[in-house]
Amino acid sequence: MNPDILRERQNATFDIEKLTNILDGGAERTNRRREIREVLVLNDPDFDYGTPTSLPTMILKLREYGISDPVEINWYKSMYWGTGREALGLHYVMFLPTLYTQCDSEQFNKWVPLIIGTYAQTEMGHGTHLRGLETTATFDPATQEFVMHSPTVTSIKWWPGGRNPLFLPLIFLSIPLSASLFDLFLSGFALPTCSGIVIGDIGPKFGFDAVDNGYLKLEHVRIPRENMLMKYAQVKPDGSYVKPLSSKLTYGTMVFIRSLIVGNAGIVLSQCCTIAIRYSAVRHQSEIRAGEAEPQILDYQTQQHKLFPLLATAYAFLFAGQYMIDTYNRISGDINQGDLSEMPELHALSAGLKAFTTWTANTGIEVCRMSCGGHGYSRSSALPDIYVEFTPSCTYEGENTVMMLQTARFLMKSYRQVQAGQQLSGAVSYLNKVHHRVMAPQAVSSQLDLNLNTLVDLYEIRAAMLVELAAQSIQQESARGKCQEDSWNNSTIDLVRASDAHCHYMVLKMFRDKVDQIEDPGVHSVMSTLAHLYAIHGMGNFTGDFLQAGVLTGAQVPSVSKCLKGLLAEVRPSAVLLVDAFDHHDKMLNSVLGRHDGNVYEAMFEWARSSPLNRTEVHESFHKHLKPLQAKL
Ligand SMILES: CCCCCCCCCC/C=C\CCCCCCC/C=C/C(=O)SCCNC(=O)CCNC(=O)[C@H](O)C(C)(C)COP(=O)(O)OP(=O)(O)OC[C@H]1O[C@@H](n2cnc3c(N)ncnc32)[C@H](O)[C@@H]1OP(=O)(O)O
Ligand SMILES: Cc1cc2nc3c(=O)[nH]c(=O)nc-3n(C[C@H](O)[C@H](O)[C@H](O)COP(=O)(O)OP(=O)(O)OC[C@H]3O[C@@H](n4cnc5c(N)ncnc54)[C@H](O)[C@@H]3O)c2cc1C
């Protein structure tokens, strides 16, 4: 083991295993995760690490081991495929969940165990604006069939992931039977038997190469009436239409995956922090004091400033992911029982946190890569691949700006309710104080109060202030004679800013609530330091907001920076131990820089030598091209 890494792991001030247990949701979950990793994957003789041929093996193994819990599926898949993306991701996170949530019982029993499928919603002309989708589904009572058709070039289904030419069971979103509703259909196609279908691949992408995103053009293709997913809406044999309790129930799968993406952003950021911080502990470069040995780059304050706030953010997003999926499970359970009262709040929370966490993690991955210098740019670090696989999450499952505006819509509605004298509950209950001016900024002391509860209050006031400013912008636009829609559009910068601040407050509050639950003194102490770092770093990035909200004075601004530097120094001794607690296995990280033993240089040389380019001392291209050319000179 590298001596630097060894030294970093001495004198731990907290129990790493206990922190790993907290991240997993308990010691039993940690044991189960490791059992899946060590016994069911790494020690499985059939396991051929991450090669495409192992995909069918993985599916059969999941069934053989009876793994059906979504989280356990993800543990197994992420061990199997490491930081890459496997071709069946969409099957697991969209196709199956849609069948689970939108099929009636007869359809569920008929389809769920049997098929692999994709999710064809986006069209060439519309991805965000679902009410603009053009694919039609016209019911023919004479044959009891739906006629599926792509009337225009922009209606061609574009992007369905995992469009395996042999299996084409897919979930459709199609123009509705009635003007504002969407309905889901299972195609049941199996090529090449169906005529009227034109499919293909949309071509090379930025990344996401394990997934073959395709296109699908339908020319009056007929499918049985029974292929409409009929849990919430039905078309009767006589063609009569039974509307769902809410037209937004059709959007349920997107809310599910957005809820998963929040925690996934934390996982991906924790992977990158593991790589960058372990590497920074073994990389020596330049000098701090002339004549002395080159220091670990982790001892440079700028390197700590790059990485430690991201480390705190990774923990924050992992805890937010736990809160998000628990909230999703609770509210979707109520929806399943017909209680849709919290569906708007679930939509607003999942949409906002999906955008907030992916935007932040996306930027953070690049900071981790650049903090590793040239070796960070090498594929051996795994950081370029992680970035290329993660970055589309800012676009898919709801483009982030649009998602932030959906959250803003909920915040504006809530603000109006407070203005009308209503008492709010849930995540927006802090807006009640705005109305009664309880949010009047406290007379802040000359010293910045570092108590975590105080910091949460300051973020709450900042969010409330920005919500009020956005509402006032809309009101001012209306007062200038703008229609409601133009007033909204002319305020969307303010609206996104308000949603971002609302999500930032929510994430810090979740982090603080999780820290409060930690009983072990050592773990509580180090987590409390990270939560402070998360809050103070955000205050440094958005100082203007806090000044504008009147909760920070110009005289206090220098103390924010001073406090930040102190927290960075406080985290330094525990940095490697904090990434060890994420418990990412070397095989899954697949990173020369992030190895648990820190033996980077030896591994890097072996990695380079294993390249096909180095299979011979002199590359064949010399003999084939250069030598004949030289002979002619
Ligand atoms: C079972 C096994 C599971 C195994 C799981 C393993 C774990 C895996 C972990 C891996 C995690 C992450 C990896 C992810 C990899 C996934 C790869 C994904 C590939 C990509 C796929 C896709 O992109 S699929 C397509 C996605 N497309 C979208 O998201 C479209 C976005 N657009 C929309 O959602 C809507 O158009 C929009 C909401 C923007 C507007 O809708 P619209 O109907 O126009 O509504 P509005 O007019 O704006 O508003 C009207 C009112 O409706 C309310 N509302 C809107 N949406 C919802 C909703 N979803 N729920 C509830 N309410 C909604 C809105 O608030 C308005 O209400 P108001 O009261 O009138 O204000
Ligand atoms: C890797 C990847 C995999 C995908 N897999 C699938 C899949 O399996 N199945 C599937 O159905 N789809 C899939 N998609 C498609 C994805 O869902 C859409 O790309 C996404 O919903 C964004 O829609 P769009 O592409 O139409 O972008 P647009 O909505 O056209 O966005 C372009 C710009 O317009 C802005 N904009 C749009 N509407 C508004 C508004 N109301 N207010 C302000 N600004 C706005 C956006 O902010 C953005 O800046 C995938 C996409 C990617 C990148």
Q: Is the CB of 401 under 6 A from ligand 2?
A: yes
- Annotated active-site residue 8? The verdict is no
Q: Which residue segment(s) compose the domain that 194 sits in?
A: 117-244
- Phi–psi pair at 267, nearest 5 degrees: -60, -50
Q: Does ligand 1 have an atom closer than 6 angstroms to the CB of 404?
A: no
Confidence of residue 166 (pLDDT cuts 50, 70, 90): very low
What pLDDT, on the 0 to 100 scale, is given for residue 178?
36
Q: Shortest CA distance to 314 belongs to which of 352, 368, 374, 350?
A: 368
Pick the last residue of a domain from 400, 423, 449.
400
Q: Is residue 445 part of a domain?
A: no
Q: What are phi and psi of 166, to 5 degrees?
A: -85, -40
Task: Average the pLDDT over each of 471-475, 527-531, 553-557 and give the range with the smallest value.
Answer: 553-557
User: Which 8-state DSSP code applies to residue 298?
Assistant: G
Q: What is the pLDDT of residue 174?
A: 63
Ligand with an atom nearest the CA of residue 98: 1
Q: What is the per-residue pLDDT across 350-396, written as a single tens digit (0 to 9) for each?
A: 999 999 999 999 999 999 999 999 999 999 999 999 999 999 999 99
Q: Which of 189-198, 568-577, 623-632 has the lowest mean pLDDT?
A: 189-198
Domain assignment present for 130: yes
Q: Give, for 413, the enclosing helix (H) or strand (E).
A: helix 400-419
360 marked among binding-site residues: no
Pairing verdict, β 170-174 and 118-120: parallel
Q: Is the pTM of this model over 0.80?
A: yes
Dist. CA 258 → ligand 1 center (Å): 7
pLDDT at residue number 186 = 61
| Ligand lying closest to the C-alpha of residue 488 | 2
Q: Which CA distances in Å does 495 have to 238, 418, 491? A: 46, 17, 6
Note whether 217 and 164 are same-domain residues. Answer: yes
Residues 337 and 262 in one domain: yes
Residue with the larger pLDDT of the pair 144 and 80? 144
Q: Which pLDDT does position 563 carry in this prediction?
A: 95
| Same domain (yes/no): 48, 170 | no
Report the percentage of the chain scoring pLDDT > 90. 69
- Three-state SS string across 245-288, please? CCHHHHHHHHHHHHHHHHHHHHHHHHHHHHHHHHHHHHCECCCC
**Residue 179 within a domain:** yes
CATH at 156: 2.40.110.10
Among the listed residues 487, 470, 447, the one whose alpha carbon sits nearest the alpha carbon of residue 545:
470
Q: Is 122 flagged in the annotation as binding? A: yes
Q: Is the pLDDT of residue 442 over 60?
A: no
HEC string of 492-503 equals HHHHHHHHHHHH
Identify the pLDDT of residue 175.
57
The total of structural domains in the chain comes to: 2
As to burial, measured by CB atoms within 10 angstroms (0-12 exposed, 13-18 middle, 19+ buried), residue 388 is middle
Mean pLDDT over residues 120-144, rounded? 93
> In the prediction, which pLDDT does 449 show?
73
Q: Given ligand 2 and candidates 86, 95, 128, which is best to mutate, with the most ligand atoms within 8 Å of its CB?
A: 128
Give pLDDT, residue 182.
Answer: 45
Domain endpoint, select from 341, 372, 400? 400
Q: How many Å apart are CA 531 and CA 183, to the nearest integer? A: 44
Atom from ligand 2 closest to the CA of residue 205: 1
Whether residues 80 and 121 fall in one domain: no
**How confident is residue 142, by pLDDT bands cut at 50, 70 and 90?**
very high
Examine the fold and report which residue of 226, 244, 262 is the final residue of a domain before the chain moves on.
244
pLDDT at residue number 510: 98
Task: Indicate if ligand 2 lies below 6 Å from the C-beta of 122.
Answer: yes
Pick the range with the lowest mean pLDDT from 25-39, 106-120, 607-621.
106-120
Residue 185: the pLDDT is: 61
Give me the residue label for tokens 């409060």.
516
Whether 212 and 330 share a structural domain: no
Please report whether residue 177 resides in a domain: yes
Q: Report CA(585)–ligand 1 centroid distance (Å).
A: 33
Q: How far is the CA of 105 from the centre of ligand 2 (A)?
A: 32
Sort residue 193 into left (φ over 0), alpha (ψ -120 to 50) or beta: alpha
Is the domain of 366 the same as that of 232? Answer: no
- In this predicted structure, what is the pLDDT of residue 111? 80
User: Is residue 507, in this structure, part of any structural domain at all?
Assistant: no
Ligand 1 center from residue 122 Cα (angstroms)? 12
pLDDT, tens only, 533-563? 999 999 999 999 999 999 999 999 999 999 9
CA of 252 to the centre of ligand 1 (A): 7
**Prior bond to 176 cis, omega within 30?**
no
End-to-end CA distance of the chain: 53
pLDDT band (50, 70, 90) for residue 44: confident
482, part of any domain: no
344 lines ligand 1 (CB under 6 A): yes
Out of 86, 389, 397, 460, pick the active-site residue: 397
Amino acid at 157: K
Q: Number of helices (H) and strands (E) in the chain: give both, helices first.
A: 26, 11
Do 338 and 226 lie in one domain? The reply is no
Indicate if 214 and 269 belong to the same structural domain: no
pLDDT of residue 180: 29
Residues 126 and 56 in one domain: no
State the CATH number of the domain containing residue 331: 1.20.140.10
In a domain, 505, yes or no: no
257 and 382 housed in the same domain = yes
CA–CA separation, 47 and 60 (whole Å): 12
In a domain, 419, yes or no: no
| One domain, residues 257 and 396 | yes
For ligand 1, whether the C-beta of 416 sits within 6 Å is no
- Cβ proximity of 220 and 196 under 8 Å: yes
Judgement on whether residues 206 and 276 belong to the same structural domain of the protein: no
